[in-house]
Structure 1
Amino acid sequence: MKIISILGSPHGLKGNTAGLLRHVLAGAESEGAQTDVIILKGDTVLPCRGCDICHKKGRCVQNDDFESLKEQIAGADGLVLASPNYIFNVSAQLKAFMDRCCGVVHCMQFWGNYGASVVTSGGGGDEPIVDYMNHFLITTGIIPVGGVSAAMSEMPEGGFTNQVQEKARTLGRRLVEAISGSEVPSDINQLRNNFRERMKLLTSYRKEEWPYEYQYWKEHMGWNG
C-alpha cells in the first residue's frame, strides 16, 4: 500500500506542518503502509495559466513536475495534503497544485483513492481549511477519511502535545484501514456522486471544446452519454 503526501510549506521538512504530517505518516506506517513526502517548493509546480490545453489534450504544457506528480498520485492508494494556514487558506504552493488539477477535477481522475488533510497555524481556526482541502479531494474522486490540525498553543515546548500526536497517528491508521476495507462513508459517497453527475454534464456540454475530457469519461468512468 502506497501513500503519497504533498507538503505545501515553504519551510519544507523543518516546519510545523511537516512535523504534524510525520505523526500522520507514522500512524500509517505502523499499519504497514509505504509513504513518500513530496515538497512543493514554489517552482516545482507553477501556477495555472488558464490556457485550457489540459482539457483538450489531457496534459499541461508547462515544463515542471506537475504531470509526474499527477501520475504518482494516480498510482498510489492514498493522498495526504499538508499545508500551513496562511491568511485563512492553504499556502500558495499548495494552491498552485490544486489549481493545476482543473483537468483532474473535470475527469475525477483520482477516483477510488483515499485521502486526508493536515493543517497547522499560529492562532487556530483551521477547521474550515481542513474542510476545504477534503472537499478538493472529493472533487478529484478521492475519498477523504478526515483531517488533523494544530496551532502553536498545542506546541507548549516546541513539540506537539501527546494528544495532538495521537490524533495525528490515529488519522494515519484510519487512512490505512479505510484503504484496506475499501469503505466509502454514505455522506462522502453522496457528495462524490453528486459531483460526478455535475462533471458528466459539464464535459458533455463542452465536448467540442474539451475533447480529451469527454473521451476520458466515455472510456474510464463507465459512461456512454
Structure 2
Amino acid sequence: MASAPVQWLSPARVQGSALHITRILAIRHGETAWNRDTRIQGHTDIELNDHGRWQAAQLAEALRDEPIAAVYASDLLRAHETAHAVARTRGQAVTSHLGLRERCFGRFEGHTWTELEQRFPEESLAWRKRVPDFAPPGGESLLQLQARVVATVEELAARHPGEQILMVAHGGVLDILYRAATRLGLQAPRSWELTNTAINRLLWSPEGLSLVGWADTSHLHNPSTPALDERHA
C-alpha cells in the first residue's frame, strides 16, 4: 500500500514571499545490497542493486512533469545513480555536493546492526540511543551531521529563490531535514519513514524549513510496472 504524505501546509502557514521560497524535492537514494543486508554504509561507496535501479526509474517517471531548476546529489554512487536517472530524462546535469553525503560512521561501516551489537556493544548502544555528541571512531556525531546538512541545504536552496530543486541524498540526511522542518530534537524517537526513493517535499525560506509532504511512494506501487525483486531474478 502506498504511503501518503504525513503533513500538508496551508499557504497561510508558509512564512515569506513566494519569491523568496525554494521548493525542495528531497529523495533518499534507491536500494543497495547493503540496505537489504542492514549493513552500515556511511561514506562507503556502494552502487544500487537491481531493485534500486528500478526504483530510480520509477522515480524519474513520477517526476517527469515536475518543474526542477537544478538536480543536486551526494557524490556517493548510490545517490548519484538515482539522481542521474531523473536528470537524464530531462536533459539536465547532476551537480554533486559533499554536504549531501550520508553520516560518516567510521569503523561501524561494513558491519550489520547485529554485528555492531556483538563487536561494539557500548558504542552500539550510544548510537541506538541517538546520543547527539557520540561519534563512532573515525566518524561523525549527530551534531556534526546536523550542522553539515542544514548548512548545505541553506546554501543550495538560497541559489534558487522562487524555484524547485531536487536533492538526492541518504537516510541520515533526510532524517535531519525532517527534524529541522518539524522542529524535533535529535533524540526524538523517529516515527516517519525514510523509504528508498520516496518523494518528500519541503519549503525553504530565510526563516527555515517547512514540511509539505512526506514519504509518498505511490510511484513504487504502479500496477502496470511490477517491481523487480532481485531475490527471484
Q: TM-score, normalised by structure 1?
A: 0.29
Q: TM-score, normalised by structure 2?
A: 0.29
Q: Which has the higher contact order (CA 8 A, sep 6+)?
A: 2
